[in-house]
């Protein structure tokens, strides 16, 4: 959930580390630090707060010279944000320094053992047991020592490690937490995310589960957990480096909202050929698709919301039963899975810990797993049986926008492919659906052209205390995402409800002036949702409605209306979510918050 950058080579390490950590700020953090070897000793610099504080403390890295170092931005899990709890952590003599992403689940028992051996601890973190354990087992051979230690720690970790008496090497290891290695003519690097390294190289190595990397200034070697050397393929990162920059926008979030039309095109166009849906990466015959007994969609956060939409679309088009699970609950309810079931997991980063655990659960029960992910070579992509990439490019803002839109498109395509294979839609229906999908990018652009209207409305509600989103069917799924966007970046209490549930308790919360955002895009449900709007209006609510262009009657009941272009009812989420993303953005902006870095949140949730 935080960032790691390490460097060994010809350049000053601190400058490269600080620059790399800056690229990873979007991941969320509350403190930062680095360890640099200056030729005689390992120097540590740490600071609570934004990375800028660490830059100022070290004068841009000038006070920690050296050509070998590791850096870290921490998101607190064990122990409050503080200089002491910030990484790196060291052994008692300061000769071993460690940065760590993840959680060591058995740290309490390890800490007790080490205390009994005379070791003392300065911090409240789980991480500090690692350098102490390395110290305890150290035999002069770092590789053998690390191999012994990772076999004794439980949980998730990506590690960057330096040993003072091996000043020409950096060590890295990982389990269930992302870490990559790269090299160029100037040196070798480790990082949590490729965005930290795009300036230097596009060729990276992905470290596998419980594997170790040894980096020198001009080479890198990989080993398994038994310290046996292994070979690694190089993966080329094909993102445009400029995609990881703001490009003149004030915030990444707005830039990424404006990239949604391109993202939809890039995800859609290569998979439509001769007016048919062709998803080569599925590698499934029509008979195999017909044999699917049930689909389980598993995801977290916004990705879960795309799954809720997909349930309506898949069941409606392909007539396959679909269950949708929050990934953090999936394995703990001991789900009833049959080998004929298909499990679809969705994750932007491909590193989401709970979603990764769902892949393992599905495999334990004999199911095939299809992953919809954005990051090539990510853990979930490697572990799933089939992978469908969304090709959204790097998404930097913590609040997802374009990745959400790309996931919707991927799920629409899967629904159409399955429906066509199972014969539940005709060729004419398929052609009509494809026609509507192809129009979506231009229609999103039209909605973006009206952003000033959303901005003016949002400015009226920057002081809102409670906002409720309501809808029926797919509109309920849209409500879930609209509510999340508002609460996560503007800190306004917001809830989404299936509109029919209002009378079962929630309507008691509606009072004079309460803002209710009503989604009304499902034509068969217009009358029922309008009835719900009247219910909240009667109790003093102010209603913003998001509806179709052919529903002007909404103005008779709603106080403010936003219209989306005409499309098939299965695809309305792709359009209706745009004004809701903009609404959340402008409320946050109006309240003066850092839109890209909402408090307490991280971009990639790599721990449970």
Cite the active site residues: 2, 603
SS3 129: helix
Instruction: Kindly give, in sequence order, each residue whose CB lies less than 8 Å from that of residue 514, ignoring residues fewer than 6 positions away.
Output: 466, 467, 468, 536, 540, 541, 542
Instruction: Give 352-400 as a 3 state SS string.
Output: CHHHHHHHHHHHHCCCEEEEEECCCCCHHHHHCCEEEECCCCCCCCCCC
The token pair that represents 289 in the structure block: 């698709």
SS3 533: helix
**Of 484, 571, 607, 564, the residue nearest 105 (C-alpha):** 607
SS3 179: coil
In angstroms and rounded to an integer, the radius of gyration of the C-alpha atoms of the chain is 25
What is the rounded (10 degree) CA torsion for 280, 285, 291, 297? 0
Phi-psi region of 59 (alpha: psi -120 to 50; beta: other; left: phi over 0): left
Instruction: Kindly give, in sequence order, each residue whose CB lies less than 8 Å from that of residue 541, ignoring residues fewer than 6 positions away.
Output: 468, 510, 513, 514, 515, 516
Q: In what order do the strands lie in the sheet with 542-548?
A: 493-498, 466-471, 515-520, 542-548, 560-564
What is the distance between the terminal CA atoms of the chain, rounded to a whole angstrom? 10
Q: What is the full DSSP assignment across 402-470?
A: HHHHHHHHHHHHHHHHHHHHHT-S-HHHHHHHHHHHHHHHHHHHHHHTTHHHHHHHHHTTTT-SEEEEE
Q: What is the full DSSP assignment across 288-350?
A: HHHT---EEEEE-HHHHHHHHHHHHHHHHHH---EEEEEHHHHGGG-----TT-EEEEEESSS
The token pair that represents 452 in the structure block: 């000033």
SS3 248: coil
Q: Report d(CA 213, CA 417) in Å as an integer.
A: 41
């Amino acid at each position: 959930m935080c960032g790691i950058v390490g460097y060994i080579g010809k350049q000053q390490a601190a400058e490269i580390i600080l620059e790399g950590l800056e690229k990873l700020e979007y991941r969320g953090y509350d403190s930062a630090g680095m360890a640099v070897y200056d030729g005689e000793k390992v120097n540590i610099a740490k600071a609570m707060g934004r990375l800028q504080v660490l830059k100022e403390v070290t004068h841009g890295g000038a006070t920690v010279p050296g050509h070998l170092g590791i850096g870290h931005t921490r998101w607190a899990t064990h122990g409050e944000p503080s200089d002491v709890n910030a990484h790196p952590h060291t052994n008692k003599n300061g000769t071993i320094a460690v940065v760590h992403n993840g959680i060591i689940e058995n740290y309490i028992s390890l800490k007790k053992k080490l205390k009994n051996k005379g070791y003392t601890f300065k911090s409240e973190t789980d991480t500090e047991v690692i350098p102490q354990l390395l110290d305890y087992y150290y035999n002069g051979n770092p590789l053998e020592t690390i191999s012994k230690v990772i076999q004794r720690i439980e949980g998730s970790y990506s590690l960057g490690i330096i040993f003072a008496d091996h000043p020409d090497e950096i060590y890295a290891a990982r389990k269930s937490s992302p870490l990559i290695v790269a090299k160029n003519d100037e040196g070798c690097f480790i990082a949590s995310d490729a965005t930290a390294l795009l300036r230097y190289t596009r060729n990276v190595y992905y470290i596998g589960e419980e594997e170790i990397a040894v980096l020198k200034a001009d080479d890198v070697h990989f080993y398994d957990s038994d310290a046996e050397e292994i070979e690694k393929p190089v993966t080329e990162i094909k993102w445009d480096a400029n995609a990881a920059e703001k490009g003149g926008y004030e915030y990444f979030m707005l830039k990424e909202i404006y990239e949604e039309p391109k993202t939809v095109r890039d995800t859609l166009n290569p998979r439509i050929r001769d007016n048919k849906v062709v998803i080569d990466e599925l590698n499934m015959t029509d008979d195999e698709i017909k044999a699917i007994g049930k689909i389980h969609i598993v995801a977290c956060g916004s990705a879960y919301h795309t799954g809720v939409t997909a349930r309506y679309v898949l069941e409606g088009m392909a007539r396959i039963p679909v269950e949708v699970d929050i990934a953090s609950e999936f394995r703990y309810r001991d789900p009833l899975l049959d080998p004929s079931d298909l499990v679809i997991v969705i994750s932007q980063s491909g590193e989401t810990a709970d979603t990764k655990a769902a892949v393992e659960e599905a495999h334990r029960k004999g199911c095939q797993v299809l992953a919809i992910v954005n990051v090539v070579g990510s853990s979930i992509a490697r572990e799933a049986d089939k992978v469908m990439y969304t090709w959204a490019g790097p998404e930097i803002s913590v609040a997802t926008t374009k990745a959400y839109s790309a996931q919707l498109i991927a799920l629409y395509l899967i629904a159409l492919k399955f429906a066509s294979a199972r014969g539940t839609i005709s060729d004419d229906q398929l052609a009509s659906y494809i026609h509507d999908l192809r129009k979506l990018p231009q229609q999103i652009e039209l909605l973006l052209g009206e952003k000033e209207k959303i901005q003016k409305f949002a400015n009226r509600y920057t002081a809102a205390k409670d906002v409720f989103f309501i809808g029926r069917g797919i509109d309920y799924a849209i409500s879930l995402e609209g509510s999340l966007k508002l609460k996560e970046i503007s800190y306004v209490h917001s809830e989404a409800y299936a509109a029919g549930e209002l009378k079962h308790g929630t309507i008691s919360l509606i009072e004079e002036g309460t803002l209710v955002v009503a989604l009304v895009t499902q034509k068969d449900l217009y009358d029922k949702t309008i009835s719900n709007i009247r219910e909240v209006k009667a109790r003093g609510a102010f209603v913003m409605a998001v509806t179709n262009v052919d529903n002007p009657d909404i103005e008779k009941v709603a106080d403010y209306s936003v219209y989306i272009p005409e499309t098939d009812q299965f695809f309305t989420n792709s359009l209706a979510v745009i004004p809701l993303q903009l609404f959340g953005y402008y409320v946050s902006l109006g309240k003066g918050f850092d839109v890209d870095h909402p408090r307490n949140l991280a971009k990639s949730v790599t721990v449970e």
